[in-house]
Structure 1
Amino acid sequence: MSSVRPPLPPFTLETARAKVQAAEDAWNTRDPRRVAQAYTPDSVWRNRAQFINGRAEIEEFLTRKWETELDYALRKDLWSFTGNRIAVRFTYEWRDADGQWWRSHGNELWEFDPDGLMARREASINDLPIDPQERTVFGPRPAAEPDGR
């Protein structure tokens, strides 16, 4: 797999939106290996109160995540960008093994290397139990769904 991940910084409005959509699309595959390839080999994450270092740990983390967050579906929206950094807000829904549905929402701060790989990810996330009829996120974003512009 290529070590260059366009679009590359410095970002414009168009390329920042494309980068956010590419991340959403990848995460909605729930494929830990595919997602991990978008990060530098030594990428540093803060995910809630957990600290994760490097692709191998990212892949392990995502494997555990999607083994417990069933029927995961995500939406990411560009919040802001400058140079090699992007801020996003997101919402995702999932159910646990007992059938309880959850809506998780929060913010991420991303920093990219010159090849467009994410070197740093800071995520703050809150979870809210919801009833199945309250769900609003179903699978990957359809083409007709607005992208939060």
Structure 2
Amino acid sequence: MSVNADQRPPLPPFTRETAILKVRLAEDAWNSRDPARVALAYTVDSRWRNRAEFINGRDAIVAFLTRKWARELDYRLIKELWAFEGNRIAVRFAYEWHDDSGNWFRSCGNENWLFDENGLMAVRHASINDVPITAAERKYHWPQGRRPDDHLGLSDLGL
């Protein structure tokens, strides 16, 4: 199967295996903390709801993520497949980060994703809650970047 430059496999309709892979690829991209890299997984006119903020298009995604990761330091994320059907995927996630005063948080939430035929995300709805934690309560200790394959997932961590 050939892939054109505008495609982001795996493509819908998703199977359980391809949905799990799509979720992990998204997690890996977000853990890179590279806004331009992350934005390439979305359609040029992608629409987001992130908490109470509405974001439209790749340029706005890059701007949003740049602001986010300037504020949410030492960000580490785990995503887990919740459900899928056709070109839709639902995930739950949790990420840990601290602010510039050293206060730690675990942000937990759910996302609903809608993909176009090229595997690009056209719509993302995210609902997120921040829970203050102590440094001792952190569960994510891998080096910055991709979560190691042998690191526990959300369910295994009891999150």
TM-score, scaled relative to structure 2: 0.90
Matches within 5 A, 1:66-105: 66-105=69-108
Q: Work out the CA distance in 1 between the residues paired with 2:74 and 2:5.
A: 29
Give the C-alpha shift of residue 148 in structure 1: 5.2
Counterpart amino acid of residue 19 in structure 1? K
Partner SS, residue 32 of structure 2: coil
Q: Contact 2:96–2:140 at 8 Å: present in 1 too? A: yes
The alignment status of 1:145 with 2:151, answered yes or no, reads: yes
Q: Work out the CA distance in 2 between the residues paired with 1:59 and 1:26.
A: 13
Matches within 5 A, 1:102-113: 102-113=105-116
**Identity across the alignment (%):** 63
What is the aligned residue count?
Answer: 149
Q: Contact 1:78–1:148 at 8 Å: present in 2 too? A: no
Matches within 5 A, 1:1-149: 2-139=5-142, 140-147=146-153
Give the C-alpha shift of residue 76 in structure 1: 0.1
Give the C-alpha shift of residue 80 in structure 1: 0.2
Gaps spanning 5+ residues in structure 1: where? Answer: none
Q: Deviations over 1:23-63 (max 9, x none)?
A: 00000000000000000000000000000000000000000
Gaps spanning 5+ residues in structure 2: where? Answer: none
Q: Work out the CA distance in 2 between the residues paired with 1:126 and 1:22.
A: 23
Give the C-alpha shift of residue 145 in structure 1: 2.4
